[in-house]
Structure 1
Amino acid sequence: MSFRLGLIINPLAGLGGSVALKGSDGADIVCQALALGASPRAQARTRTALAVLQGMEIELLTWGGAMGEDLARDMGFEPRVLGAPEHTPSTAEDTCRAARTLRDAGVDLLLFAGGDGTARNLCEMLGDSVPVLGIPAGVKIHSGVYSLTPAAAGELVAMLVRGELVAISEQEVRDLDEAAFRAGQVRARFYGEMRVPAEHRYLQHVKNAANREDKALVLDDIAAGFIEQMEADTLYLMGSGSTVAAIMHEMGLENSLLGVDAVLNEEVIAADCTAAQLLALCEGRPVRIVITLIGGQGLLIGRGNQQLSAELLQRCGRDSLYVVATRTKLNALRGRPLIIDSGDADLDHSWSGLIQVHTGYRDAVLYRIAVPGGDAAPDIEH
């Protein structure tokens, strides 16, 4: 019997990321994102995952239109379509109805593309009644039910299709209050757990809360080291997170904790920028991109900072990255590599390898960036 794979795509997932809206929950935000020129990303990311499964013995069950059928047929699959969305664009109600129908049809695994809002909807509808696996396509992804990258989702499903032994574990579903998130406040709430194939090379971990060390002298040391090496007439793109915020605070500058700010000659010239704004600002200037990793996950790019687009990264180059993190945050990864999930697989692969992570004043380590499924063992040099 073929492996019965259910597929649901939230076509609007991640829509607000590139235009600095911090999410895509709610019709008003969707309209605003589209008006700002945002492009949906869930289809492309699902395509990456499904490409791994082409030619395998799979019975694909899905929902109509942009929720799965269109992409599946375009890729050469012959899906069994069990229904269609009642709304255009599709809504949370459509997602829930599709999930219930696919579960009742007896799928072995429900593969879905979305963000924490999508995971929350599925958790409320399904609980732990069917194994699930998320393709990360949203802006904010704190839940532990997602793969590290779209390709990793495909690899993990392929392991199941081949009959390899893959453990199942209960993983948390968490979601942020997007209104508070846009106001610079992180308020996460636990919504439940779902059953997920557990393979540490491919599965994302629940985001850690900020470590106590991040609030103390180590951040002051990181900030001092960064400020000392700043160069005149260089544009610094200051990413999200409390580690980068500490640098901005040390410089006496206002900071978009959950956005990307542009700093030139120690002044903020643009705050909470969109992807398009960043591309325009970088034209004709030397650029450094200052980022930190998400605690417990190791994600550098692709979670909450989609403003740093693949086009921008290609233009600026790998050497433009200035990565900051405490040693405590790195140790919390327990040997897992750093991950770049830019949406461009070629870029992600080409940027793999050792990178310098600044961990204090004139103190740094070399840590590995790796594509999930490759050589995941980190090389750390002091």
Structure 2
Amino acid sequence: MRLHRNLVYTTIDSLNAIFNEGEYADKVVARALKKDKRWGSSDRKFVAETIYEVVRWKRLYAEIAEVRAPYNRENIWRMFAVWAVLRGYPIPDWKQLEGTPERKIKGRFDELSKIRTMRESIPDWMDEVGVAELGEEVWTKEIAAQNQPAKVILRVNTLKCTREKLRAILMDLDIHTDTLPDQPDALVLRERANVFMTDAFREGFFEVQDANSQLVAAFLDVKPGMRVVDTCAGAGGKSLHIAALMENKGQLIAMDLYESKLKQLKLRAKRDGAFNIEYRIIDSTKIIKKLHERADRVLIDAPCSGLGVLKRNPDAKWKLQPEFIDNIRAVQADILERYSKIVKPGGKLVYATCSILPSENQEQIEKFLKTESGQEFKFVEDRKILASESGFDGFYMALMERKEN
């Protein structure tokens, strides 16, 4: 086990882009993996996993390395050296790694690991919010779970394929998967693999979607022939699942503020063979008003803090600010108020987030049900899903039914 110079240099360049240039880790990693076509799967795995690990443990590694933001390249090399020592790599005789204090690094790690904000490598404000909303015991377990690397989960596109057929196709490619109880469309990869390069992906046999994210469309209780509105569709992971559950029968309206996201959804829908989707950009209040009381089912996959998906977006720990959470709560309440009017009497509404904070979840529902619009709905059930209990992303979903006139 040794470090290879070209892989490490790519890692350092990538960390510089994330830490100092404000780029998103997933975009930087995707670009890094295209740098050298000669790299094999183990090389690509090293680059991707190392970038994510240093980002995930940035505060801890910076403290051990005794560096402060903004990080120059020497600082990033020192943080990388901490990673290498803690992962058991022999330190090579490179100029950038001269004088790496291996014993001191290990000693500081043992010392700092007794402090939760350092051990879990999170900002102080995030720790305070987590404790305040979830309590000391639950938050301690949850933030530890959020620092575990995310598993790769596939959602079988039932418009084109079956789970058994996809498992067999992937097995022929030496990509082994496991099923999940009570989730008929989910497959969990036993080991990470570049599934996007497979013919099965290009032919639209599956999408990559977290297991708990896959629960949302099923929770909406859609049926073929319905009119369904996904009000915050984004790039359409849940829209595509809804289309599959509708068996391409009926009308699915995918809405978003951003045209660029709906363009991504159109491309994905074409690949998946989902042709019952209409696309509408929310560029005025008229778009919503035209749909008042017209939909059998409405999904509000609300914008949120994303504190339930830190394991797959570790850089969000450093990009997220406390004032954003305050602002997003107001946005969520406004969206619930306005978009709930789309549900027709007898229809159903699901409010969902990828947050674990009660203030973004059940407390929003409680407040909504007391408003004039909310009093037209009855609460049916909700699900509060923690990563520490499920092993997948943290999610919340609430199902409400609009009362008959």
TM-score where L is the length of structure 1: 0.31
Higher radius of gyration, 1 or 2 = 2
Higher helix share: 2
Higher strand share: 1
